[in-house]
Amino acid sequence: MAQAGPFGSRLLGPADQRGMVLRVRVQGLLTVTLVVANVIGAVVAVVLSTWVIPGPGPVGATWLMVGVGVPCYVVVALAFGVVWGTGRALRAVRWAIDDRPPTERDRRATVRVPLVLTLMQAFLWGLATVLFTGIVLVIQPALVFTVAFTAGFAGIVVCANAYLLSEFALRPVAARAIGDEPLGGTGVRVRMLLFWCLGTGVPVAGLLLVAVFALVRDTVPTTRLAVTVIVLTGVVLVFGFLVTEFTARAIVGPVRSVRDGMGLVREGHLDTRVPVYDGTELGLLQAGFNRMADGLAERERIRDLFGRHVGREVAEAALAAEVDQRVVRVSVVFVDMVGSTALAATRPPTEVVALLNRFFAVVVDEVDRHGGTINKFVGDAALAVFGAPLPLDDHAGRALATARAIAARLPDELPTCQAGIGVATGQVVAGNIGAQRRFEYTVIGDPVNEAARLTELAKSTPGKLLASSHAVAEAHPDEASHWQTTTTTTLRGRTEDTLLAVPRES
């Protein structure tokens, strides 16, 4: 479905329009708004006075007023209203045209522009009602009701359309003025009641007055009365439809923007924001959506950062509250750089850090590729676990394959960097360890110690890679076929002998 733009219509342009473009758009739309509203009012007045209101027609000097005075007043009043109205509106939104942040006074003045324009139209049409009713009262008193009713009713039509259309035209500026803090203007309930009065209450009351006027005169032919009721009913229906349509658009626009924004968020676009251009509860809805999107983006950022520190699997398990301490059987890969102490003493710290990052990039890449989890970095060493916090099929085979891949890549990608690698399998306690306010997910058990000791021993052996025979025995035959046992040794700090395994020569 084609997008209607950030403000509900392509006529209002993009959200990032600035300076002269914004001025031209706002001034043009407001001018068209006021002209259209007044033309509609003039048409309504002509229809009512010519075919609807029962009674005598204009005679003598009244024709001069109708034929010359009324059109001249409408043209002058329209020109004055457009110049006055758009000029005042542009002064109120000058901050937006100048691309500067609005003050609190600017914000409130901007939001009040539609009301100010409506009051201007009410003044001009009210003045016309008083002026022409007074003139008719002198030259042809029988037309007082007709003139007063048609001018007053047309003025109401103009005011209703001027408010709705100007509020629509000012959405781009109102969005910047409101921001994410709606100013608490009229609520949706008040707005709906007001528009009901304008679109239904007043027109029906006018229809009632016409009927009463016809009964009082008691000289209106039945045919004329029927025509009056039919035409006036048509005017009421059309006017009510227009007000209802504009009101519906004013309500649907913000709701639709939130709906479209939710669709984008659902697709993963957490940077989605919607313009807040409505001063009612609908603006609060738009602002609430933006706060929700901010919260989701912040949560995702924290989740990503958390995952980078403890591992994606650990982070997901922690968010699901599934990291209780438990005894599990896992495989452990321990990787420790050779000669890091001398490296730190002979090279600048920035160079050492860059080398460590490249070294760890190889380790992390292979661990992730084989489904393991980096449990921690300890200086220039890394501890990877296969089988915790989430169960992993053939954890021993994956750990052994990871160790072989790291041992193969390091000489090619980092010729000056050597590392000892040890692999062990066994039971550990896996879970959160630490104080109530500071946890660390880790694994504790003999396989961790065994892998660390194998790493120390591997540093002084060809290939720099050793594994325990238990890890090879538990691995899938496809991976186990790449290994062979060699000798038995007692690792430092252990009482039992360990049967060593090394990769077969290809």
Task: Specify the pTM.
Answer: 0.56
In a domain, residue 288? The reply is no
Domain count of the chain?
2
Together in a domain, 226 and 104: yes
Same domain, 364 and 485: yes
Q: Do 220 and 332 fall within a single domain?
A: no
Q: Does 243 score more than 80 pLDDT?
A: no
Same domain, 189 and 335: no
pLDDT at 464 over 80: yes
Q: Which residue has the higher pLDDT, 4 or 86?
A: 86
Which of 219, 253, 287 is a domain's end point? 253
Question: Residue 261 falls within a domain, yes or no?
Answer: no
Q: Which of 160, 158, 147 is nearest to 52 (CA)?
A: 147
With respect to residue 398, please indicate whether it lies within any of the assigned structural domains: yes
Q: For residue 314, is it within any domain?
A: no
Q: What is the CATH number of the domain that holds 462?
A: 3.30.70.1230
**Whole-Å CA distances, 185 to 121, 163, 164, 274, 280:** 21, 14, 15, 19, 6
Least confident range of 146-160, 221-235, 276-290, 450-464: 221-235
Q: Which domain holds residue 117?
A: 16-253
Q: Is the peptide bond before 389 cis (omega within 30 degrees of 0)?
A: yes
Count of alpha carbons within 13 angstroms of residue 443, beta-carbon side: 33
Which pLDDT belongs to residue 1?
A: 36
* Angle between helix 144-169 and helix 19-47 axes, rounded to 10 deg: 160
Is the model more confident about 98 or about 434? 98
Alpha-carbon distances, residue 214 vs 124, 146, 161, 227, 405 (angstroms): 29, 11, 29, 12, 99
Q: What percent of the chain has pLDDT over 70?
A: 80
Task: Output the CA–CA distances (angstroms, integers) from residue 406 to 41, 70, 116, in the order listed.
Answer: 81, 92, 73
Arithmetic mean of pLDDT, 9-23: 80
Nearest in space to 46 (alpha carbons), one of 16, 77, 74: 74
Mean pLDDT of the chain: 80
Establish if 238 belongs to a structural domain: yes
Cα-Cα-Cα-Cα torsion 487, 490, 492, 493, nearest 10 degrees, comes to 150
**Are 363 and 214 in the same domain?**
no
The structure tokens listed for 189 are: 């309930």
CB 186 within 8 A of CB 280: yes
Q: Are residues 248 and 329 in the same domain?
A: no
Which among 176-185, 342-351, 381-390, 418-427 has the top mean pLDDT?
A: 418-427
Q: To the nearest whole percent, how much of the chain has pLDDT over 90?
A: 15
What is the per-residue pLDDT across 274-309, written as a single tens digit (0 to 9) for each?
A: 887 776 777 778 888 888 888 888 777 766 655 554
Task: Write the pLDDT tens digit of every residue in 405-435.
Answer: 999 999 888 888 889 999 999 999 887 776 6
Domain boundary among 221, 253, 285: 253
pLDDT of residue 208: 74
End-to-end CA distance of the chain: give it in Å, rounded.
59
Three-state SS string across 151-188, please? Answer: HHHHHHHHHHHHHHHHHHHCHHHHHHHHCCCCCCCCCH
Q: Is 489:497 a contact under the CB 8 Å cutoff?
A: yes
Residue 279 lies in a domain: no
The average pLDDT across 390-409 equals 92
Same structural domain for residues 240 and 343?
A: no
Give a yes or no: residue 220 inside a domain.
yes
Does residue 197 sit in the same domain as residue 56? yes
pLDDT at position 195 over 90:
no
248 and 328, same domain (yes or no): no
Q: Are strands 381-386 and 373-378 parallel, antiparallel or unpaired?
A: antiparallel
Are 227 and 339 part of one and the same domain?
no
Average pLDDT for residues 300-328, to the nearest whole number? 60
pLDDT at residue 331 in the model: 94
Q: Tell me the mean pLDDT in the region 444-453.
A: 89
Is residue 321 left, alpha or beta, with left meaning phi > 0 and alpha meaning psi from -120 to 50? left
pLDDT of residue 329: 92
371-394 mean pLDDT: 86
| Residue 499: both structure tokens together | 């049967």
Mean pLDDT of 337-365: 83
Segment 369-381 shows an average pLDDT of: 86
CA distances 203 to 38, 192, 207, 237, Å, are 17, 16, 6, 9
CA distance 447 to 491: 12
Given 193, 224, 253, the domain boundary residue is 253
Tell me, yes or no, whether 318 lies in a domain.
no
pLDDT bin (cut points 50, 70, 90) of residue 2 is very low
209 and 70 in a common domain: yes
